[in-house]
Structure 1
Amino acid sequence: MPDEDVRAQDAVMEQQYALAGARHYHDAVYLCDDQRWPTADHLFGFAAECALKSLLLRFAVHDVSTYRNGNAMNRARWVNPRTGKEDWLGHINQVLGAAPLLAYGRGGPAFVEAVDRLNVFASWDLADRYRDGRQVSDSVVAGRQEAARLALSLYELCELTGRTS
């Protein structure tokens, strides 16, 4: 598949991730208002994950793609610069490892500092949806809500400026 077709597909996925991130965030806020912390926490994690994946697909074009060997994949993959190995872009606690791919140029350090604030998701776990919810408190959710809002704001800023730094 020609590179322009791959980039066009990645652009579609980038937009879908961005829209999904906003939707997950708004649903999570609704659940917070109802004090349904575990599910709100879950959706804030998805919101931040989608915002970062969207940024990675747009700005880390040489390291992240939804295509391999000319074939479409249902999930984005990235090349870890530390290991040189390809891996899936998983959920937010895994996507955080790929975030440094976005930091380059003069604004790189400031971008890294902002992304570091997303580390509140390092202990976020997809399997929490099967637990009784006692491990999620309103204070944990408040921190993750702020981080998800930051991730979406970073996406919006990069969308407006056309760059990450």
Structure 2
Amino acid sequence: MGRCHYDAATQLAKSPPLFGSADHLAGIAAECVIKAMLLDFFGSTQDTPLGIPYSPAIRNRPAPSKTQAEKARKASEHGHLPHVWDQLLLLANGHRGATVLAQIPQQNPFREATDEWDVAHRYRDSGQISAQRVKRHLAAARTVIAAYQQAK
């Protein structure tokens, strides 16, 4: 699924009026591939009624209170970028983890201090999305796609 979003994003990135859609799809592409890596390689699961993938390693940490257990449950869910990128960096381990971590930036390209990617940006005016931002996010999506392929 991530590859299809990436291909669509690269086509949309050719037209400045469509930069918003291109940027959104680049982020969704990276997010899909990261979630695939977490599920396929790093012990995450997708067995809840809503189908939200999560990390049992994070969810099942001992919690001294119900409040802490609820925080662990929320923290374990693989939601949207930029948070899911940080979860990949945290959970990648073993041979495949080394393969993945060697290929992706340790600094989250979707967590720029002045221009953080957010799934809600799909509502932004494309005029607010720069060509540099789209290029950065397309490059990041391409990188995680390649890392996934290499780790298979």
TM over 0.5: yes
Q: Determine the structure 1 residue equivalent to 2:92.
A: 102
In the TM superposition, residue 156 of structure 1 has moved relative to its aligned partner by 0.9
In the TM superposition, residue 34 of structure 1 has moved relative to its aligned partner by 2.3
Aligned residue for 1:76, secondary structure, equals coil
In the TM superposition, residue 92 of structure 1 has moved relative to its aligned partner by 2.1
| Aligned CA-pair RMSD | 2.5
Q: Determine the structure 1 residue equivalent to 2:38.
A: 56
The correspondence of residues 39-118 of structure 1 with structure 2, limited to 5 A, is: 39-61=21-43, 64-68=44-48, 72-79=49-56, 81=58, 84=61, 85-86=72-73, 87-100=76-89, 101-105=91-95, 108=98, 111-116=100-105
Deviating above 6 A after TM superposition, structure 1's stretches of 4 or more consecutive aligned residues are none
Q: How much identity, in percent, do the aligned residues show?
A: 31
Whether 1:24 and 2:14 are equivalent positions in the alignment is: no
In the TM superposition, residue 105 of structure 1 has moved relative to its aligned partner by 4.6
Aligned length: 134
Normalized per residue, which structure has more strand?
Answer: 1
What amino acid is aligned across from residue 104 of structure 1 in structure 2?
Answer: G
Q: Determine the structure 1 residue equivalent to 2:14.
A: 33
> What residue ranges of structure 1 are gaps of 5+ in the alignment?
1-19, 160-165
TM-score of the two chains, using structure 2 as the length reference: 0.76
In the TM superposition, residue 82 of structure 1 has moved relative to its aligned partner by 10
> What residue ranges of structure 2 are gaps of 5+ in the alignment?
62-71
Which one has more relative contact order, counting CA pairs under 8 Å at least 6 apart? 2
CA distance, structure 2, for counterparts of residue 112 and residue 26 of structure 1: 24
Q: Determine the structure 1 residue equivalent to 2:129.
A: 136
Change (3 A) 1:67 1:106: closer
What amino acid is aligned across from residue 121 of structure 2 in structure 1?
Answer: D
In the TM superposition, residue 136 of structure 1 has moved relative to its aligned partner by 1.5
In the TM superposition, residue 133 of structure 1 has moved relative to its aligned partner by 2.9
In the TM superposition, residue 97 of structure 1 has moved relative to its aligned partner by 2.1
CA distance, structure 1, for counterparts of residue 124 and residue 97 of structure 2: 40
